[in-house]
Amino acid sequence: MPDPHTAVSLRGVGRRYGERVVLRDVSLELAAGQTLVVFGPNGAGKTTLLRMLATLLRPHAGEIEVLGRALPQDGYAVRGRIGFLGHEALLYRELSGRENLRFHARLHRVAQRRVDEALDAVGMLARAGDPVAELSRGMVQRLAIARTVLHEPELLLLDEPLANLDPAAAAQVAPLIGAGSSAARIVTSHDPTGGLVGADLALGLKGGRVAFLAPAASVRPQQIAELYA
Amino acid sequence: MRATVAALLAKEFTLEWRTRESVPAMVLFSIATYVVFHFGLDRDRVTGDIASGILWVTLLFAAILGLNRLFVSEHEQGGFDGFLLAPVDRTAMLVAKAITLFSFLCIVELVALPAFGLLLLGPPLTQALPQLVLVLVLVNAGIAVVGTLVAGLAIQTRARDLIVPLLALPLLVPVMLGAARSATPLLRDGGAGALPGNWIAILAIYDLLFALIAYAVFDFLLED
């Protein structure tokens, strides 16, 4: 019986690409409304972990439950409740920001008024009519954040969400994807101090294995630095 | 599913209108090929089975150009992931892409068919047109369904420009056969003959069969 208070539950989860194992034996539980920050060097398996939770990849070992539903078999039931912000913006370059968000609003059956609300929240209302191809990386990232929260998801999967954002933009999007958001969050980060702010749990991955999993308050910067050594 | 297909179609046509990547290339290819046939065969006019063969082979190769572009925006700009993250019936993408390709082929034929009539065809195109339209609709449907399935399969591979024709052309041989046999009597000198009902039926059955196969397997193509 799934626990309604658990946002994410992983038991012995593994994943490989061909013969190469990129994630092995990851187990954790994240309660609804909590934040997990994931540290690890490039290739540690952070993005793979998020993509499995977003239903974009199947696990090759172990069990995953997201928002009380088992993946991948119940993926259809949770897709509309997850907001995924990856390295790609998932926006069409030849469409404007507003057209892209309208497209996603239609796919998620979200009222069209939410499009302008989301654009306003990320400070992109004035440039909403410009093709994405003509925007800076930071602006595209802000649009990607608007796309991620458009359908007001219960679980946010954020892969280095503040990449390309200036401090003002990062402050502007904080209520949407930061600790103030009511959603459960899994955030990848390379920032040993800033990444822990607002986090409840911290996971360190190295070579696809769990190096540490502990309450964020108890994780020392030295432990994070050792991941990158 | 209807709302999802409508959203995808609106996006497809807007992207094509902005980029003009597929339809203009298909149109130019068709006209250029008819010009090459015109000079290559050293004949001002062709009729019957030769005319039918030239017509369909040219349209088929033009369609391959469109097929190679069909999923490029999804692959290169993250459209697949954006779509897969939404709580929608994934078959909607098959339906939308097939309708898109069907529409592109119809637009191409609006230009290519008169060009064929002008550059190569002996008898006037108008005499065959009403019945030819039925054959075109069935051929376009076959190419759209088979092509969408193949393009969806090939887009995940590195050599998609090679894989698409290698897979699509053999699968479309029955469509070409039906199209050529159906159109030959229509393009004869001395007036259009009767449309061969058996070949029209074969085309329709082939379209239906592949539509069912595509419907059954397309979801798995999008899976990890």
Structure confidence by residue, pLDDT tens digits, B173-185: 999 999 999 999 8
- If you ran DSSP here, which 8-state letter would residue A152 be given? -
Bridge-based pairing state of the strands A209-215 and A201-206: antiparallel
Q: What is the mean pLDDT of residues A56-79?
A: 92
With a cut of 60, say whether residue B13 has pLDDT above it. Answer: yes
The pLDDT of A162-182, averaged and rounded, is 89
**Residue indicated by tokens 């930061």:** A178
Q: B83: which chain A residues are within 8 Å (Cβ-Cβ)?
A: 107
At A179, is the pLDDT very low, low, confident or very high (cuts 50, 70, 90)?
confident
Determine which of A6-15, A210-219, B213-222 has the lowest per-residue pLDDT on average.
Answer: B213-222
| Chain A residue with Cα closest to B84 | A56
Interface contact flag, A58 B223, Cβ < 8 Å: yes
Candidate from A84, A106, A147 with C-beta closest to B3: A106
Of all residues in chain B, the one with the smallest CA distance to A99 is: B11
Positive or negative, the CA dihedral A56, A175, A199, A41 is: positive
- Going by C-alpha positions, the residue among A189, A95, A169 that lies closest to residue A134 is A95
CB within 8 Å: A86 and B79: no
* Mean pLDDT of the residues in chain A: 92
Instruction: State the count of interchain CB pairs (< 8 A) between A and B.
Output: 72
A95 with B18: Cβ contact below 8 A: yes
Residue B2 near chain A (CB below 8 Å) = no
- For residue A94, the chain B residues in CB contact (below 8 A) are 14-15, 18-19
Gap between the Cα atoms of A107 and A116, Å rounded: 16
Residue (of A196, A203, A182, A208) closest to A24 by Cα position: A208
Residue A110, pLDDT > 70, answer yes
Distance CA B19, CA A133 (A): 12
Are B83 and A107 inside 8 Å of each other by CB?
Answer: yes
User: What element of type H or E holds B162?
Assistant: helix B160-171
C-beta separation of A94 from B18 below 8 A = yes
The pLDDT confidence band at residue B115, using thresholds 50, 70 and 90, is: very high
Q: B24 Cβ partners below 8 Å, 6+ apart?
A: none
Give the integer Cα–Cα distance in Å for A172 and A141: 12
Distance between CA atoms of A105 and A112, rounded to whole angstroms?
6
Mutate to test the interface with B, among A78, A87, A92 (most CBs of B within 10 A): A92
* Cβ distance of B81 and A58 shorter than 8 Å: no
- Total Cβ atoms within 10 A of residue A180: 9
Question: Which ranges of chain A does DSSP label H, i.e. alpha helix?
Answer: 46-53, 75-78, 97-107, 113-121, 137-149, 167-177, 221-227
Q: At A55, is the pLDDT very low, low, confident or very high (cuts 50, 70, 90)?
A: very high
Residue A32 has pLDDT above 60, yes or no: yes
pLDDT interval class at A3 (50, 70, 90): low
**Which of A111-125, A188-202, B34-48 is predicted most confidently?**
A111-125
Q: Which of B11, B19, B86 sits opposite A108 (nearest CB)?
A: B86
| 3-class DSSP assignment, residue A159 | strand
Element (H, E) at A83: strand A82-85
Task: Provide, rounded to the nearest whole percent, the portion of chain A with pLDDT above 90.
Answer: 77
A197-204 average pLDDT score: 91
Q: What is the mean pLDDT of residues A99-114?
A: 95
Residue A19, burial from CB neighbour count under 10 angstroms (0-12, 13-18, 19+):
exposed
Contact A150, A108 (CB under 8 A): yes
Structural contact between residues A146 and A121, judged by C-beta atoms closer than 8 angstroms? yes
B53-71: average pLDDT: 93
- What the block records as the tokens of B174 is 């029955």
Task: Tell me the one-letter amino acid at A214.
Answer: A
Predicted confidence (pLDDT) per residue in B94-107, tens digit: 999 999 999 999 99
| pLDDT of res. B158 | 80
Strand A82-85 relative to strand A155-159, pairing: parallel
pLDDT at B222 over 90: no
For the ranges A224-228, B7-11, B30-34, B171-175, the lowest mean pLDDT is seen at A224-228
- Using pLDDT thresholds of 50, 70 and 90, give the confidence band for residue A109: very high
A144's tokens: 């990607």
What amino acid is encoded at A80 in this protein?
G
**CB nearest to B85's CB, from A54, A57, A95:** A54
Residues of A with CB under 8 A from a CB of B: 54-58, 76-77, 79-80, 82, 84, 86, 88-95, 99, 103-104, 106-109, 131, 147
What pLDDT score does B192 carry?
Answer: 66
Q: What is the pLDDT of residues B195-212, one digit of tens each?
A: 888 999 999 999 999 999
Pairing verdict, β A35-39 and A82-85: unpaired
Predicted pLDDT at B191: 67
